[in-house]
Structure 1
């Protein structure tokens, strides 16, 4: 009799598990069917769309529409750049490598984007360099060029496309305004500005700038970088001459950390989608691995180590996503988003990513009622809009999603409006 009761209890447990699993499966199928129907109703079949929705608590994929297909990710690329920076740099970002010999300091840049940057105002390198009578700048090895692969050439004078360099200063951008007179930062370019209407902001091949006399806001224009220009800019700040050297003396290089907190760089990278910071962070990461500032070194290292488990390996060519050569799948993006959540936690991630309806690139989109329910990175190029990140459901459950759209021929605002309908459906249905 006792054996019968024992067998009955086991049978009851098995039946309960089967029923619960069946209900969960039915619920999942119902969720998937409902969201897929809304996708169809919102005309997402008229262009190339990918959507993956994942429940990290249950390790369960709730929805997969072209989730393993490759898309142009635009600035969703910065999710991978953020992960790379965290794994290699962590919470401190090197600003210089140096060796001192008597009253002489030999130094090179690491690609750190913060020195004299108008947002960070980091002048910590000046305090180090002023302590030495003689200064010798030794350019770091950087052979990949000032522009990333596949960048649009016509963006050379656009504020979102500064050049990459081993020792950037002022964000590699000159800021021009008229406030009782012509003002430029850095001041070095003051005599290279012509106040005149022109179809470009700068000559393509030289640092000669054009400022519309009717303009009332500040114009930001990338300048053409070079080692000698960096020395002139730095020399003016130090009020002393800096010599250009070929090599370091014998000895182990020391590392000087910048004053700008890493999280400040990461926050601007993600919330303002700062392309310059993205590119430079990959260079700093490479500098932490070797004496080369090659961005491909840091990308390859992370893909081969921390991201070796990605099923569909991305084609990843720059840090910012300006290049259309980049190809990522929604599933690989979700994979990295889950790793970020596991390693840094919800509070940190929500403080770094743009918040729907509140800040950054999502300030005007995906608002909550009243709290934000979307914390995600957007990515925009012509005929491309992607959004990947974290979604808080009405039930309180946290989901990870990647929603990619390529090759549409209508205004991006319409795509965003219809995406918002889908994301709200997901929020309210699970």
Structure 2
């Protein structure tokens, strides 16, 4: 059958083994094939023998690191991706689920920056439902919460009640010296579930800052700061509270001794604000500061504002309330019928996420997580927040069928994430309009945050930016680095169920990161 002109023109020229082919025609054919090969392969990243050897050496080294017999009983998952070429440089159990610990904060902060925006701010209002006559306000004061985690000393040079002092000054400018009413905290932007699912804390762990309650109205990270100093020999250690408040009752069972190591510990009676201090405090130890959680953050906030107003010379005839315990909520007037006395606006979200990721601050992460639900569905419940986060992750290509989200901070042992999912998030964020805010929120190896003392003196120092994670028998590290060739890398390293010291797991992760920073195809 005769071929059409078009079909004939697409047929290859005859090669030299074809009868009747001249050497000139063969040479012309070979040149054309060479050009085709260059275009087909030379510009599409087919690695040279040297590049193949470099990658082979990298994979061999990483396999050797994770094959250490000390980790034979542990579960390890890793994915390393070259964000320039898109090549997976190394993968091991990358599609298996692991407990991520604080790597969950990568999900929370990436979603929040992308959905809420890096310039998002919280607004908390002080409102009144009465009127001022002469120097007296006849009516109640309402603190209307927005889920803001930042009303504390963190952004006010350590003055934890600076915002409340400012509100007192505003009342004075209005010539208010007496308030014939109560101070009521309104936390209804969130539900009343104060912890994440699967927070399997030991019997007294809920007193420590990392387990602070979630609330629509919060103050000082929902903690009281306790500073200890030695007392007289054999006597209890002395202590001060910040803020100085009657909301907390301290039972001091500590003792000042000649010991060189402190055995002081703390616990809070369940569903109360009775905090016990016990153990031996060395007389040679100058001071020790700890942040301890309180029960009912909303009432705590209202109480400290009440006390701050009194200290400023404003007399209140009522008392502080949590709105859920104030008479009948149905009797609370609508806020559009009240007047605003003062307000507080938080720093932008770009600054707030730095606290979340660099310090690995659980309370901030949980507040931001619930805020996602509040902004999308009107109330900050766990389920609403989860729906928003899952939707975002799905939109950037994460397989959400392989993820379990039970909180925003990673304190839950029920959370499950794959290394591949984390790398997918890191890759998407590098292309995001909020990339700079996300990237700058991550700790820098050997420089700051939770990586301040790791990878010092190596090429990873100042290079690796990553989020750490830790709960019992779980250690994670995920983030970014740059290779010796200048190529950007996203990586995720999970280690679960290990029984060696956590310092040994840190060393394993640091070795992997350092090897990647020294990787070159050349």
TM-score (norm 2): 0.72
Unaligned runs of 5+ residues in structure 2 are: 1-12, 14-23, 132-138, 232-237, 255-263, 311-315
Aligned to 1:354, which of 421, 428, 443? Answer: 443
Of 214-223 and 132-141, the range deviating more from structure 2: 132-141
Give how far 1:117 is off.
4.2
Match of 1:426? Answer: 516
Per-residue CA deviation, residues 372-410 of structure 1 (Å, 9 max, x unaligned), is: 221100101111111000122122211000000000111
Match of 1:387? Answer: 477
Conserved in 2, the CA contact under 8 Å of 1:73 and 1:379? yes
Match of 2:78? Answer: 51
Match of 1:205? Answer: 271
Count of equivalent residues: 430
What does 1:163-242 correspond to in 2, within 5 Å? 163-178=213-228, 182-189=239-246, 192-197=249-254, 200-212=266-278, 214=281, 216-239=287-310, 240=316
Q: CA RMSD in A?
A: 3.5
Is the alpha carbon distance of 1:345 and 1:84 closer, same or farther for their aligned partners in structure 2, counting shifts above 3 Å? closer
Conserved in 1, the CA contact under 8 Å of 2:466 and 2:479? yes
Is the alpha carbon distance of 1:60 and 1:128 closer, same or farther for their aligned partners in structure 2, counting shifts above 3 Å? farther
1:148 aligns with 2:205: no
Counterpart CA distance in 1 for 2:514 and 2:143 is 53
Match of 2:261? Answer: none
Of 225-234 and 45-54, the range deviating more from structure 2: 225-234
Counterpart CA distance in 2 for 1:77 and 1:70 is 13
Counterpart CA distance in 2 for 1:204 and 1:233 is 21
TM-score (norm 1): 0.87
Residue aligned with 1:214, SS: strand
Conserved in 1, the CA contact under 8 Å of 2:213 and 2:297? no
Give how far 1:189 is off.
3.5
Aligned to 1:301, which of 388, 392, 407? Answer: 388
Match of 2:149? Answer: 113
Match of 1:343? Answer: 432
Give how far 1:97 is off.
6.6
Give how far 1:211 is off.
3.3
Match of 1:327? Answer: 416
Of 4-13 and 391-400, the range deviating more from structure 2: 4-13
Counterpart CA distance in 2 for 1:174 and 1:12 is 74
Match of 2:120? Answer: 92
Counterpart CA distance in 2 for 1:407 and 1:6 is 64
Give how far 1:186 is off.
2.1
Could you say which structure has the larger radius of gyration? 2
Counterpart CA distance in 1 for 2:354 and 2:87 is 29
Match of 2:46? Answer: 21
Unaligned runs of 5+ residues in structure 1 are: none
Give how far 1:417 is off.
1.2
Counterpart CA distance in 2 for 1:97 and 1:284 is 17
Is the alpha carbon distance of 1:107 and 1:352 closer, same or farther for their aligned partners in structure 2, counting shifts above 3 Å? same
Conserved in 1, the CA contact under 8 Å of 2:109 and 2:438? no
Conserved in 1, the CA contact under 8 Å of 2:77 and 2:93? yes
Conserved in 2, the CA contact under 8 Å of 1:373 and 1:393? no
